[in-house]
Structure 1
Amino acid sequence: MTSVNYGQAIITISAVLLGFVLGQLSDYFNARSLHRRKGESLRALIRIELEQNARELNLYWSSILDSMNGMHNDKNEFKYALMASEVSEAPFPQLYEDAWLSNLGDVPSYFDYQEIESIWSFYKKLGRLNSLYAYFVNANEDRKTTARDMNARGDVVIGTLMGNWDFTGSVSDHAKEFKTLIEDVIQGKYDA
């Protein structure tokens, strides 16, 4: 009888161990599958957000260029001051970074270093475009205020010239940067 009891005990212990090992393997493969699916979802979510921002900026930039009557002057130079004025008058699109920011802790698990650097650079460009837009709006308001103040004094021509000269001088370099950044973003210079 003793050998039967030992045999049953060995079979029972073996079955328990086998069940434990199979359960652990199942958990491992489920966790791996979940990790992979989460990574795919996160990559897709961030890619969609990047593409949406690029699409919104493309529509915005197209409307700016369409509103400029001739983008180049007689010397075939781009009219940066006119562009800055047009930018300041048109409402800037809502840009999103929710998917990126809310998942920033998980990003290193699902993206390699170059991808993170590229995406991070893209979002930095979006932030800089927002800052430049705010700068153009403020500079345009200053130009209008100068013209209004001079008009109130009766110096309509001088007020207009001073306001335009000051605006052109203060925005040209920033307008060049804005144009470069928005064109980079529209071309989708990121990897996700």
Structure 2
Amino acid sequence: MISGVLDMLTVVEHSLIERGTKWVKREIRERCSAAGIAYSKAKWRGFWGYFRRTWVEQYGVKVWNVAGLDNELIARPNNPLGRFNRELNSRFLSPRPSMATFVGVIKTLSSEYVQRLADVPRGRVRHAPRERIQLPVPIGIPEDIADDSDSDEPLALKHASDSSLDEESNDDEEEGTSFSV
């Protein structure tokens, strides 16, 4: 799932988590339907049961929800391998670089690292600027949102351009003369 759906729960007001969860369930179902992906009610029901037990009841919303916090206050992982991985990914222009590009990037990174180590005893250490965490923008959740994630009805997305075709097909079905093209 792309960002902007499940991660939306991290920025929704604490009091709106229940409505936010309903919105996320509906959005996932709509996007699966639009992409032609089968929506497994049993698997999603299992996930949402786990989510509720673990992240809402056991730990509580305040542990993982960052709504209302300034970006500077949000904790960042202090994992050197994660930082190295992000640094490598930012240097490569393509997902699968050639061996020459890979070796060149590693050589550049290692020389920069050696320079940083040499700067420590000389007192020329400068802190690398921290990257800013990109949080999703909270959406407006309607108050009357329904949780239809467990319903058996297929989710139909209706587009304005399809309305005339729907009326024609309904007329044909009522007369018993529907044709498939």
TM-score, normalised to structure 1's length? 0.19
User: Larger Rg: 1 or 2?
Assistant: 1
Tell me which protein shows more helix as a share of its residues.
Answer: 1
TM-score, normalised to structure 2's length? 0.20
